[in-house]
Chains A and B, each alone.
Chain A
Amino acid sequence: MPKSSAPSTSAKKKPAATAETMAAKQKEIAVSEFFAKNRHLLGFDNPRKALLTTIKEAVDNSLDACEEAGILPDIHVTIEALNGGTKRAKKPKDAETPVSDSDSGVEEVPSLTNATKFKVTVRDNGPGIVKAQIPNVFGRLLYGSKFHRLRMSRGQQGIGISAAGMYGLLTTGQPVQIISKTGPRAKCHRFELAIDTLKNRPEITVDDVLDEWTDRDGDKIRQGTEVAITLEGKFQRGRASVDEYLEQTAIANPHARIVYTAPDLEHRVFPREVDDVPETPDEIKPHPYGVELGVLMRMLKETKHSKLGEFLQQSFSRVSPKVAKEITDIAGKAKVGTITLQSYCSSLNHGQIEAIHNAISETKIQNPPTDCLVPIGPQQILKGLLKEIKAEFYTAETRDPQVYRGNPFQIEVGLAFGGDIPAGDGSKVIRFANRVPLLYQPAACSITKAVVQTNWRNYGMSQPRSSLPDAPLVVFIHMASVWVPFTSESKEAIADYDEIRKEITLAIKECGRKLNTYIRRKQRVAREGQRRDVFAKYIGEVVAACGRMTELDPEKLFEDLKNVARSRTETADRQLDDEGNFIKPAKKAGKLDGDANVVVIERDDDEDEDADASAAEGESPAITTDQPEHAAA
Chain B
Amino acid sequence: MATTTTRKKKPVDTSKKLERMAVDVARSAKRGEDPGFDIPTRSLSNAAFDERKKIITMGDAAQRRNFFNLGQAKKFMQTMLVASGCKELSDQGKTTSIRDMFYHCKHTIKGTKENTFDTQDESDPIIEDLEVTIGSIREELGLFAENKGNMVGPMTIVDNGDTIDLSRMGSGGWGVPSIVEPNVIEFKKSDAKFVLLIEKSAVWNRFNQDRFWEKYNCAIIHGGGQPPRGVRRMVYRMHKELKLPVYVLADNDPWGYYIYSVLKQGSINLAFESQRMAIPSARFIGMSAFDREEFGFTNVIDLNDKDVNRLKEIAAYPWFAKKKPWQKEIQAMLKSGVKMELETASSKDFSFITEEYMPQKLKKKQWLD
A residues adjacent to B (C-beta < 8 A): 531, 534-535, 537-538, 540-542, 544-550, 552, 556-557, 560-561, 563-565, 567-568
Contacts and interface: CB of A to CB of B under 8 A. Distances in A.
Q: Which 10 A-B pairs have the closest CB atoms?
A: A560-B29, A549-B22, A545-B80, A545-B84, A546-B22, A538-B77, A550-B22, A548-B84, A568-B68, A549-B87
Contact of A567 (B32, B81, B83): B32
Contacts of A548: 84, 87-88
Interface string B180-218: 000000000000000000000000000000000000000
Given A560-B29, A564-B33, 12 more contacts: A537-B111, A537-B114, A538-B67, A538-B76, A542-B77, A545-B22, A545-B81, A546-B25, A546-B84, A557-B29, A564-B34, A567-B32
B301 interface: no
B19 to A, nearest CB: 5
14 contacts: A534-B74, A537-B114, A540-B111, A541-B116, A545-B77, A545-B81, A546-B25, A546-B80, A548-B84, A549-B19, A550-B22, A557-B26, A560-B30, A561-B29
Interface residues of B, number: 33
Contacts of B109: 537-538, 540-541
A527 to B, nearest CB: 9
Contacts of A560: 26, 29-30, 32
Contacts of B26: 546, 550, 552, 556-557, 560
A221 B353 CA distance: 120
B52 interface: no
B306 interface: no
B4 interface: no
A567 B30 CA distance: 13
A565 B116 CA distance: 20
A560 B29 CA distance: 5
B61 interface: no
Nearest to B19: A550
Contacts of A550: 19, 22-23, 26
A549 B70 contact: no
Contacts of A557: 25-26, 29
B18 interface: yes
Contacts of A564: 28-29, 32-35, 68
A563 B32 contact: yes
Nearest to B88: A548
A568 B29 CA distance: 12
B365 interface: no
Interface string B53-71: 0000000000000011010
A563 B28 CA distance: 11
A567 B31 CA distance: 12
B110 A540 contact: yes
Interface of B: 18-19, 21-23, 25-26, 28-30, 32-35, 67-68, 70, 73-74, 76-77, 80-81, 83-84, 87-88, 109-112, 114, 116
A544 to B, nearest CB: 8
Given A549-B87, A550-B22, A541 B81 contact: yes
Contacts of A552: 22-23, 26
Given A548-B88, A557-B29, A560-B29, A565 B83 contact: no
Given A560-B29, A560-B30, A535 B21 contact: no
A565 to B, nearest CB: 6
Nearest to B110: A540
A493 B68 CA distance: 56
A562 to B, nearest CB: 9
A534 B70 contact: yes
A523 to B, nearest CB: 16
B22 A535 contact: no
Contacts of B32: 560, 563-564, 567
Contact of B74 (A538, A567, A568): A538
B67 A542 contact: yes
Contacts of A545: 22, 77, 80-81, 83-84
A7 B305 CA distance: 90
Q: Interface centre among B21, B30, B68, B111, by most A CB within 10 Å? A: B68
A534 B66 CA distance: 13
A544 B19 CA distance: 13
A557 B68 CA distance: 15
A550 B18 CA distance: 9
B80 A534 contact: no
A428 B208 CA distance: 86
A568 B83 CA distance: 25
B94 to A, nearest CB: 15
Kindly name the residue among A537, A540, A546, A561 whose own CB sees the greatest number of chain B CB atoms within 10 A: A546
A538 B80 CA distance: 11
Nearest to A557: B26
A361 B116 CA distance: 80
A319 B34 CA distance: 73
B73 A534 contact: yes
Contacts of B19: 549-550
Nearest to A563: B32
Nearest to B29: A560
B309 to A, nearest CB: 37
A235 to B, nearest CB: 53
Nearest to B23: A550
A547 B84 CA distance: 9
A549 B34 contact: no
A457 B76 CA distance: 39
Nearest to A550: B22
A204 B172 CA distance: 125
Nearest to A527: B70
| Listed residue (A538, A556, A560, A568) with the most chain B CB atoms within 10 angstroms of its CB | A538
Nearest to A534: B73
A565 B73 CA distance: 11
A30 B84 CA distance: 98
B83 to A, nearest CB: 6
A292 to B, nearest CB: 67
A321 to B, nearest CB: 74
Contacts of B80: 541-542, 545-546
A556 B81 CA distance: 19
Contacts of B21: 549
Contacts of B23: 550, 552
A542 B76 contact: yes
A96 B350 CA distance: 123
A151 B288 CA distance: 101
Contacts of B74: 534, 538
Contacts of B29: 557, 560-561, 563-564
Instruction: Output the residue of A537, A544, A547, A567 with the most chain B CB within 10 A.
Output: A537
Contacts of A547: 22
Contact of A549 (B18, B33, B111): B18
